[in-house]
Amino acid sequence: MNGAAWEQELAAEVESDFRKRLIANCHSKCISPAYFQDGELNKGEAVCLDRCVHKFMATNTLIQKTANDVGGNMMRSMGMEEGQQQQ
């Protein structure tokens, strides 16, 4: 498998995992099992889900930015430019 195909596969796997964690997390926090058979969200559940998804996405963005910053700093400290690999 070449590098580009591997990166695409990894990105798809990460996205799938993110989506699963988002759904599980926000569903368990916001949707009441007592009303699950209703088929529609009540206003409180909808607001909770909206806030939960927003916070989850914001947190993920912050984590990605921090990880990229740390990774960039590590590469610079090792004398490597971004995108270059030691041979």
Domain layout of the chain by residue ranges: 3-73
Q: Which residues of 60-77 are buried (b: 16+ CB within 10 A; e: fewer)?
A: eeeeeeeeeeeeeeeeee
pLDDT digits (tens, 9 = 90+) for 10-22: 889 999 999 999 9
Overall pTM surpassing 0.85 (yes/no): no
Work out the mean pLDDT of the chain and round it to a whole number. 84
Q: What pLDDT does 80 receive?
A: 64
Q: Does domain 3-73 have CATH number 3.40.50.300?
A: no
